[in-house]
Structure 1
Amino acid sequence: MTASQRDIALSAGRLARTLQDWIGANFRLPAPDIPSLTSFSRLGSDEDQIPHPGEAAGTDVPAEEAASLVRARWGLGNAPIPNVVHLLEAHGVRIFSLSRDCLEVDAFSFWDRGIPFVLLSTEKTAERGRFDAAHELGHLVLHGEEQMPHGPQAEAEAHRFAAAFLMPRSDVLVHAPHGASTSWILQGKRRWKVAAMALAHRLHELGLTTEWQYRTHCVELGRLGYRKSEPRSGVVRETSQVLGKVFTALRSEGTRPADVARDLHLRPADLNDLILGLVVTAQDGDGQPHQGMSGRPKLSIVR
């Protein structure tokens, strides 16, 4: 990316830390619960051996296996994940959004004082946003707090983790036929809420399609417009449940986002960039929570 794009992304990370500090001082949020590769290398599922969140990795657990282990640790089984953002927030990941001026960055993640952060672009498709969130979880799990993942290898590992996390091997093998057609992929993608291209790649990765079939899928999906978008998707972009609850609670007390920005010595535009697309702003009328913010008790925020 260009230096200016990099600087915009890094600035967003610094502002996310500032906003998180303010929220953490006023609300009780879910504690971080991100397994590391170190935990996977110890005595199986012995909970006494689980390290602190963000502990540095030091093993060579394959990305596919790591995704399965995280699913097992979180009790997800092999079923599709309804909402990736809500799942990460339930396990203590702080989700914020990137500025629209940062189009070259899909997402990025980092640890700060034991707290995992993920920043997501709101300019991608809903399916791509889910995959990006899972990809960043892969970095948090595979590379730990003390490492600084970079380069093609780290990206490939996080990519394989995301594919396996969203489309578990056993579930895909049960529901996908050998030699699936492009039409089946366009139907099957709805089960896992992933991009058509991602599902085509996963089928090939699991040996369900040949090299020739995979190339055919890519050509046909590209011709139909699925290389850069998801026509007639129907999948709703995932939003932050935590930020929604926080700003709903503040609004009920008469505190506006502009008031929060002033307390943090931020421009309102900078604050809006962090919560863009993740908080429903059309709540100013009656202050009632949006339907999508009811959530599980695990995500309740206590003032």
Structure 2
Amino acid sequence: MTKVLSFPDRSSGFSPARLVEARLAKQKSRAELAREIDLSGQAIGHYETGERRPDMSVIIRIASALEQPVPFFLKPSPSIERHQGTRYFRSVGARSNKLNYALDVRAKWLWELVNLVGSEIRFPAPNLPDILPPEHGIHYTLEELESAAERVRRHWGLGDGPIANVVALFETHGVIVTRLSLISDDVDAFSCWIEKRPYILLGSEKQSSCRSRFDAAHELAHLLLHRDIAQEDLEEKSVRERIELEAHAFAAAFLFPRVAMMREFFSTRLSHLKGLKLRWRVSMQAIAHWAKRLGIIDDYQYVLFRKQISSNKWNKIEPLDREIPIEMPQWLLKCWRLFAARRALPAQGVEDTIGFSLDLIANLFGAPGETSLLTRSVVATG
């Protein structure tokens, strides 16, 4: 009897979802990707829906265009939908949504890697206090926002003085913090809850430590104050504007409490504000704006301050911005080293084992462009 040879599906294991993720992360349309790899947009659509599967030669071209290793596209993609809460995007719309989709994908990949590392390494449990909703209506008053900031400080055992390192503080209390390229200079930070754990993604593009600390505190406000906001609510401009103002006030009160401001803000001289910036690690402009909000200075004094800032061309880059070091996350890289040791990851072929590129892991774990940190970790601890 003649045997009939049967060949397995030549693309068995290909994950359509991974193709969608990688394309969205690069902010490419199907047509754009198709042109790059000499295919039709219709073919990419078939691959993404699973109606057809590419052979290995096509997968290699896709992987090259989307800067992922081939094993990434052969790795199943877990669903995050029922685990993830609202993502606090600062803008929406046709132009912004393309960027938001890319940020969504990066948050999902970070979650996957945290779960992977967390299978071997225990992360600190989230330790954030519950914050009551506004007493009247949907708007927090300034007093309620200051009270919320004070509650967090007391919960974490902080006094009324400057916080030495905001990122390290958050990590100690179970917040997953990373600093990565957020693709656009228009995005400062991004946050969400995933599986009852808070995530804060800070942009690596911002070169001012003080402004980045403010961004981190701003995102903490969203995580604590705005968990009742549904994703569709953010489609309304008025909702976005409201929660942004609330997050700004919370961040200012958290980083520079009223009691300290009343004691230390006694002059609008630029030299004095520069000293306050050095002590509190808050930008001069944020300090002056907070002083006006608290009624310590009036509108006229604030306008004079703004004119001085403008005449010195300090609107974007202030004194000390280059001197005060950027706060870098540490937990994820430390946990990676322990994970690599326990799993005995090989010095070569890590991408085949993990399914993510080393560039991507380094970026998601707060060391953009520093893949040597990952390979050194593997070599040193393997």
TM range (shorter): 0.7 to 0.9
Q: Distance in 2 between matches of 1:116 and 1:131?
A: 17
Q: Structure 2 residue aligned with 1:241, among 310, 330, 343?
A: 330
Residue in 2 that maps onto 1:98: 180
What's the counterpart of residue 319 of structure 2?
231
**Residue aligning to 1:49:** none
Q: Secondary structure at the match of 1:118?
A: strand
Unaligned 5+ segments in structure 1 are 42-57, 288-303
Q: Residue 283 of structure 2: which of 181, 195, 212 is its match?
A: 195
Residues 211-251 of structure 1 deviation map (CA, whole Å, 9 limit, x = unaligned) = 11111112212332332123333211111121232234356
Deviations 1:92-151 (A, max 9, x none): 100123325233211111111111111110111111110111001101111127754731
Which amino acid in structure 2 is aligned with residue 152 of structure 1?
A: E
The alpha-carbon distance between structure 1 residues 182 and 59, as it changes in their structure 2 partners (threshold 3 A), is closer
Alignment correspondent of 1:214: 302
Whether 1:64 and 2:152 are equivalent positions in the alignment is: no
Question: What percentage of aligned pairs have identical amino acids?
Answer: 32
The corresponding residue for 2:29 is none
Q: Which residue of 1 aligns with 2:255?
A: 166
Counterpart AA for 1:6 = N
Does structure 2 retain, via aligned residues, the 8 Å contact 1:243–1:279? no
Relative contact order: is structure 1 or structure 2 higher (C-alpha 8 Å, sep ≥ 6)? 1
Q: Is the 8 A contact 1:257 1:268 kept in 2?
A: no
Which runs of 5 or more residues in structure 2 are unaligned? 1-90, 235-239, 378-382
Question: In the TM superposition, what are the counterparts of 1:2-17 in structure 2 within 5 Å?
Answer: 2=95, 3-17=97-111
For 1:217, the aligned partner's letter is F
What residue number does 1:120 align with? 202
Residue 275 (structure 1) aligned with residue 359 (structure 2): no
Q: Does the aligned pair in 2 maintain the 1:238–1:278 contact within 8 Å?
A: no
1:40 deviation in Å? 10
DSSP 3-state at the match of 1:187? helix
Separation in 1 of the partners of 2:375 and 2:105?
A: 32
Equivalent residue letter for 2:199 = F
In structure 1, the partner of 2:124 is: 30
Segment of structure 1 superposing worse, 1-10 or 68-77: 1-10
1:139 alignment counterpart: 222
Q: Within 1, Cα distance between the matches of 2:310 and 2:118? A: 44
Name the SS for the 1:26 alignment partner: coil
The one-letter code of the counterpart of 1:180 is T
CA distance in 1, matches of 2:188, 2:260: 27
**Other structure's SS at 2:132 match:** helix
Aligned residues of 2:193 and 2:199 also touching (Cα < 8 A): yes
The answer as to 2:246 corresponding to 1:157 is yes
1:175 equivalent in structure 2: 264
Q: Give yes or no for contact 1:244–1:278 (8 Å, CA) kept in 2.
A: no
Q: Distance in 2 between matches of 1:15 and 1:257?
A: 22
Deviations 1:145-165 (A, max 9, x none): 775473100111111100000
Q: TM-score, normalised by structure 1?
A: 0.79
Cα separation, 2, equivalents of 1:189 and 1:84: 15
What is the TM-score when the length of structure 2 is the normalising length?
A: 0.64
